[in-house]
Amino acid sequence: MVLEIGPEELAQILRDVQDLDTCIFGLQREIEELPDKHHLGELAEALSAVRQEQASDEKSLEEIEHKQHKLDGELDMLVTKMKKEEEKLFSGTIMNPKELSAIQAEIFSLRKKRDEMETEDLEEMEEIDRLTGEFSSARSRTAEIEAGERQAKDAYEVELAEKKAEIASLELRRDNLKVRLSEDIVADYNKMLKEKAGLAVVPIVQGRTCGGCHIDFSRTQIDQFQHNEGIFRCEYCRRILVK
């Protein structure tokens, strides 16, 4: 039930409702800025970068390990072949000097190849060591950033809950005031609030200027304020004016 209220009380209620809405909008803006405040975007970016680095290290490591495994297999085959040739050479069954020198040449060439492959193998092992180190450092950085992100998210959740609770309490106070206003005034207020970026009710500054659009009123409108009580409309921006 809406009780009849006087013009001064009406103006006061509208002022209070606007003040509460202004506070609510302020808190909503603060909520929007919370992720920035807690660097959540930056942390997510850093995390994605370090995870990418970790994945790329892991891939390189897998590739080189595969390569090394293949090389080890080839090296085994080569050594077996070399041993066979050496056995042949020292078996005493081959007497033909041409054949013997061919075997010697083959052994020589196999040894050279083996040395090359062993050098390559060593280089690959060094590369594996380096990549393993990089991978483990990326992994610990990932863990570090993840922990930081969790902490920041927890702090964000706490602040978010606090602000939401504050908003709910302001909304309750505002709605308790609004029930005292007529439906028409509430509809008008809501419409202006939406159209005027959250500022529907403004004061008449020094009896002659609109507190919303800051334009000086005409003589006619100033006369109106001087001879009446309650609420008015700005002739320029249409906001609700209170003395």
Give the nearer residue to Zn ion in terms of CB position, either 145 or 210.
210
- Give exposure, 125-140, as e/b (b: 16+ Cβ within 10 Å): eeebeebeebbeebbe
Give the nearer residue to Zn ion in terms of CB position, either 87 or 216.
216
- Least gap, CB of 222 to Zn ion (angstroms): 13
Taking a C-beta distance cutoff of 8 angstroms, is the pair 55, 134 a contact?
no
- Give exposure, 142-176, as e/b (b: 16+ Cβ within 10 Å): beebeeebeebeeebeeeeeebeeebeebeeebee
| Binding of residue 145 to Zn ion (CB under 5 A) | no
**Could you say which residues in the range 217-236 bind Zn ion, by CB under 5 A?**
234, 236
- Least gap, CB of 236 to Zn ion (angstroms): 5
Cα–Cα dist 135/93, whole Å: 55
Window 156-195: contact mask with Zn ion (x via CB under 5 A): ----------------------------------------
| Binding of residue 237 to Zn ion (CB under 5 A) | yes
Kindly determine how many residues on this chain lie close enough to bind Zn ion according to the rule CB under 5 A.
6
Residue 213 DSSP code: T
**Could you say which residues in the range 190-219 bind Zn ion, by CB under 5 A?**
210, 212-213
- Least gap, CB of 241 to Zn ion (angstroms): 8
Give the nearer residue to Zn ion in terms of CB position, either 24 or 210.
210
- Least gap, CB of 214 to Zn ion (angstroms): 7
Beta strands, E only, the chain: 201-205, 209-210, 231-233, 240-242
Written as six digits, the tokens of 57 are 């290290």
Give the nearer residue to Zn ion in terms of CB position, either 148 or 211.
211
H helix or E strand, kind and range, residue 206: none
Give the nearer residue to Zn ion in terms of CB position, either 25 or 236.
236
- Least gap, CB of 207 to Zn ion (angstroms): 14
Identify the CA nearest to 32 among candidates 151, 164, 149. Answer: 164
- Least gap, CB of 138 to Zn ion (angstroms): 59
Identify the CA nearest to 160 among candidates 6, 37, 60. Answer: 37
- Least gap, CB of 178 to Zn ion (angstroms): 23
Cα–Cα dist 120/72, whole Å: 10
Give the nearer residue to Zn ion in terms of CB position, either 178 or 239.
239
Where on the chain is the footprint of Zn ion (CB under 5 A)? 210, 212-213, 234, 236-237
